[in-house]
Structure 1
Amino acid sequence: MSSNKKQSIFTTGRINSTLRKFLHSEASGGLLLMAVAAVGLAVANSPFAPTYFSLMKSYIGPLSVQHWVNDALMAIFFLMVGLEIKREMLDGQLSSWPRRILPGVAALGGMMMPAAIYVFFNINDPAATRGWAIPTATDIAFALGVLSLLGPRVPVTLKVFLTALAIIDDLGAVVIIALFYTADINLWALAGAALVFLNLCLFSRIKVVALWPYLMLGAVLWFFVLKSGVHATIAGVLLALTVPIKLTPGTPEANQDVSPLHKLEHALHRPVSFIVIPIFGFVNAGVSFSGLSPSVILEPLTLGIGLGLVLGKLIGVLGSVFLLVKAGIVEMPGSASWAQTFGVSLLCGIGFTMSLFVALLAFDDPVMQDRAKLGILAGSIIAGIAGYFILRFAPRRQGRQYADVIE
């Protein structure tokens, strides 16, 4: 591959206004999530703790408050994740294989290394080993929230790189949840879910552009998936895959700005960023430190998650970028220095939302859940603070500000 055709896809000049708005909104949501998580942690260690934990376990209909949040509200989050993945794969920063190489390989490395570190510490405990996927996730809202505090010190190209990496990371998390964290299967419910999904695919095939049929059948799909034993949030991703990204060619509205997928994604973005995810953070960040000794942080489960997020993500992401660049396969993201890439790789270790979600699926034991939450909080905080200060003082790359893109 000649030097003028190496890919450096993350260029300032090609970032459209929609992506800029997306990055700005995600950053704001991340800052809110930080605040809400801190409040949840404080309440769980205050005189209001009994009320807090009692409320989480109280039932509304067939599910507890915590299950309504984790199984129903988070299905909306996964719907938005699915829409983002589909849009980026078909019509965005991941729309061609050259554009997928750098964030794709970095995301893969950033999932494998944390899992390996976790398993290394917990290999002798089969129950704990089930949590191997906990440190593999990156919380895009938190990470972009930290980047927003740094302003123009971080090139936009690195923000796009982080966004693309996190989207691929989310896709990996969806696959992991579907394959490894599924309970006993109810075949009748699974058949019902399959039938509903086929009807959704038919709607997409015949170019149904109204959103309400998809949303109505999506609710039915969620019910069947919930009863099937597959985690209910997968219904959100399945629904997203069927929402059309373009209208029928030749119609007056046949453009991406008014396609069903774009309209639904736009409608969900603020509610998910500013309502769904903060509620999830408040409900699940509460860890009581009562009766816990400082030595808990050095237990294999907690330590494996913490080091997996901090060191595993750093080694996996930065190592992948280094190997690809040095092999001449890709170029560095435009305007980014190695020090800045180091800092962004550390920010990938902020695994709050998805890591907490996987921890709740991996462990039924509340004690193990609390150990996992401590590891997630410790690792995410260390990765966030270290990444912030490295990016705060990192020298900027001199020279070319733009790079060619392989279409």
Structure 2
Amino acid sequence: MTQSLIKELTSPVQMVAKIMRTSSFQYFVSKISQAGFLLFGSAIVAFLWSNIHPESYDHFWHQQLTLQLGSFSLSHSLAHWINEGLMTIFFLTVGLEIKREFLVGGLSDPKRAALPVAAAAGGMVVPGLIYAACNLAGDSISGWGIPMATDIAFSLAVLSILGDRVPFGLRLFLTAFAIADDLGAVLVIAFFYTPSVNLGALGAAAALVVLLFALNRGGVRHSCFYIVCCIVLWFAVAQAGLHATIAGVITAMFVPSSGKYDTDIFLKLVSDRLEKIRCRQDGGCGRSILVNRSHLNAVQEIKLACREVETPLQKLEHGLSSWVGYLILPLFALANAGVHVVGLDLFQALTHPITLGVTLGLLAGKPLGIFIFTFAIARILKAELIQGTTWTHILGAGFLGGIGFTMSLFIANLSFTQGEYLEYAKIGIMIGSFFSACGGYALLRWSGKPS
């Protein structure tokens, strides 16, 4: 048993294969795709609940929840705690994903990143312009940022349904441009959806950013220090008048992205320990590793080395992804996807400039912007598409980019307070996202299996 284990672990080819099968990207895609289905179910529940029993829906999410520590107390509605509190963890995860993509992912090489970044830019500019064109004459222009976002969980969930009908490179492209799109959405929230600023609290937030920088440069690797700083930064940013969830993105930028051991040291250490196990095994120290103290010590050292070679960024991202995908995003959908259509003038709702602007921005603006900008940059830079992908695939991905949902709902809540405008925005998000998903699925399925 031990000899077979040693043989497997010491085979370079098998080791590389195992690493590839369990790569961070595949782990991320798998987790986020599963979360997309749960998110879809939560949205349906919210829609049904808000129309079958609207009073209980509104009462539940608007009941006050108070956090009290001594004389200090903070009281907000349950929906507010989810949107401003739990969603900070979501934005922390988004920040970690963005950082990983810029370091080792699809955005790490400027030439490779050109196409997904162009897609993200087009997918933000064109939908925003379409919305603005529909709402220039009214007082609803503040919602221009709503159709600019892409819900990466929903998009990857649709791709997972298609299975091997789409090339692996398209998953890389969609993930890269969706993360670049998330970065753009974060910047839009920070710069355009921020009320008046409290300079004193902003100074405290700046001091905490300096502390995060010092922790990073000082080699502090334990995630709990960064989590504590994120919580305190959340309070400071909220008091400053900025959107509190930005604290998550800021914290993510300073989480260390290198392991305690580099690859060479890790491989040497593991190789040495495996050699000791092999020598002792050949020396007749017993067939079972469980009865040999030397073998156990070597295995424990290998286990410790595996932990130390993993970066804090990876550990935190893996640790948070399940909580975000299976708890936070479904709760966000339950609290925000409720649209009161019973008793609503549907004709007026469907033809209102907000509804039209959001729907057309997602359904038409996203695929057009993504396709045109990607095509233009590819011609200007003479860049090639990822192997296996075609321009039909890019157009299909553009439609999937029109699934705005999570981030669109988030920006809608910042754009409009409670009232008809928010309901119209939600209706536009639901319609635009649904038909974008259908259009993307149909187009990619029609395009056939990759060769």
1:290 paired with 2:296, answer no
Question: Offset of 1:291 from its aligned partner?
Answer: 2.0
Paired residue for 1:120, among 121, 125, 133?
A: 133
Distance in 2 of aligned mates of 1:86 and 1:99: 16
Conserved 8 A contact 2:32-2:157: yes
Distance in 2 of aligned mates of 1:257 and 1:343: 38
Question: Offset of 1:390 from its aligned partner?
Answer: 1.4
Gaps of at least 5 residues in structure 1 are 1-13, 399-407
Q: Secondary structure at the match of 1:230?
A: coil
Conserved 8 A contact 1:137-1:170: yes
Q: Which has the higher helix share?
A: 2
Residue number in structure 1 paired with 2:124? 111
Conserved 8 A contact 1:340-1:395: no
Paired residue for 1:69, among 50, 73, 82?
A: 82
Q: Quick check: which has more Rg, 1 or 2?
A: 2
Residue number in structure 1 paired with 2:6? none
Q: Secondary structure at the match of 1:281?
A: helix
Give the partner amino acid of 1:355: S
1:90 paired with 2:99, answer no
Q: Secondary structure at the match of 1:331?
A: coil
Question: Offset of 1:70 from its aligned partner?
Answer: 0.2
Residue number in structure 1 paired with 2:213? 201
Paired residue for 2:113, among 92, 100, 120?
A: 100
Conserved 8 A contact 2:165-2:448: no
Conserved 8 A contact 1:335-1:396: no
Question: Offset of 1:327 from its aligned partner?
Answer: 4.2
Superposition RMSD on alpha carbons, in Å?
1.9
Conserved 8 A contact 1:256-1:262: no
Question: Offset of 1:164 from its aligned partner?
Answer: 0.2
Residue number in structure 2 paired with 1:405? none
Residue number in structure 1 paired with 2:317? 265
> Cα gap change, 1:257/1:285 in structure 2, threshold over 3 Å: closer, same or farther?
farther
Distance in 1 of aligned mates of 2:185 and 2:381: 29
Give the partner amino acid of 2:241: G
- The aligned runs of 1:396-407 (5 Å cut-off) are 396=449, 398=451
Residue number in structure 1 paired with 2:352? 299
Distance in 1 of aligned mates of 2:171 and 2:377: 19
Residue number in structure 1 paired with 2:44? 38
> Cα gap change, 1:157/1:273 in structure 2, threshold over 3 Å: closer, same or farther?
same
Conserved 8 A contact 2:409-2:429: yes
1:59 paired with 2:111, answer no
Under a length normalisation based on structure 1, what TM-score does the superposition of the two structures give?
0.90
Distance in 1 of aligned mates of 2:338 and 2:353: 21
Residue number in structure 2 paired with 1:382? 435
**After alignment, is 137-146 or 321-330 more displaced?**
321-330
Give the partner amino acid of 2:41: A
Give the partner amino acid of 2:39: L
Residue number in structure 2 paired with 1:401? none
Q: Secondary structure at the match of 2:340?
A: coil
Residue number in structure 1 paired with 2:183? 171
Question: Offset of 1:341 from its aligned partner?
Answer: 2.1
Under a length normalisation based on structure 2, what TM-score does the superposition of the two structures give?
0.82
Distance in 2 of aligned mates of 1:263 and 1:159: 23
**CA distances 1:308-367 after superposition (whole Å, capped 9, x unpaired):** 001000110011222233446211221123322221111100000000000101112421
Distance in 2 of aligned mates of 1:306 and 1:365: 20
Residue number in structure 1 paired with 2:280? none
Distance in 1 of aligned mates of 2:178 and 2:392: 20
Give the partner amino acid of 2:438: I
Residue number in structure 1 paired with 2:258? 246
Gaps of at least 5 residues in structure 2 are 1-19, 67-74, 267-304
Residue number in structure 1 paired with 2:26? 20
Q: Secondary structure at the match of 1:60?
A: strand
Q: Secondary structure at the match of 1:92?
A: coil
**CA distances 1:185-239 after superposition (whole Å, capped 9, x unpaired):** 1111111111111111110111111111111121111111111110000000111
Distance in 2 of aligned mates of 1:396 and 1:332: 17
Question: Offset of 1:84 from its aligned partner?
Answer: 0.7
- The aligned runs of 1:142-181 (5 Å cut-off) are 142-181=154-193
Give the partner amino acid of 1:45: N
Residue number in structure 2 paired with 1:184? 196
**After alignment, is 359-368 or 30-39 more displaced?**
359-368
Residue number in structure 1 paired with 2:295? none
Residue number in structure 2 paired with 1:315? 368
Residue number in structure 2 paired with 1:402? none
Conserved 8 A contact 1:223-1:232: yes
**CA distances 1:46-89 after superposition (whole Å, capped 9, x unpaired):** 1x321111111111011110110000000000000001111111
**After alignment, is 284-293 or 345-354 more displaced?**
284-293
Give the partner amino acid of 2:358: I
> Cα gap change, 1:256/1:94 in structure 2, threshold over 3 Å: closer, same or farther?
farther
Distance in 2 of aligned mates of 1:165 and 1:15: 23
Q: Secondary structure at the match of 1:131?
A: helix
Question: Offset of 1:258 from its aligned partner?
Answer: 1.5
Q: Secondary structure at the match of 2:140?
A: helix
- The aligned runs of 1:331-350 (5 Å cut-off) are 331-350=384-403
Give the partner amino acid of 1:33: L
Distance in 2 of aligned mates of 1:198 and 1:328: 38
Conserved 8 A contact 2:261-2:308: no
Conserved 8 A contact 1:83-1:241: yes
Distance in 1 of aligned mates of 2:368 and 2:248: 32
Residue number in structure 1 paired with 2:445? 392
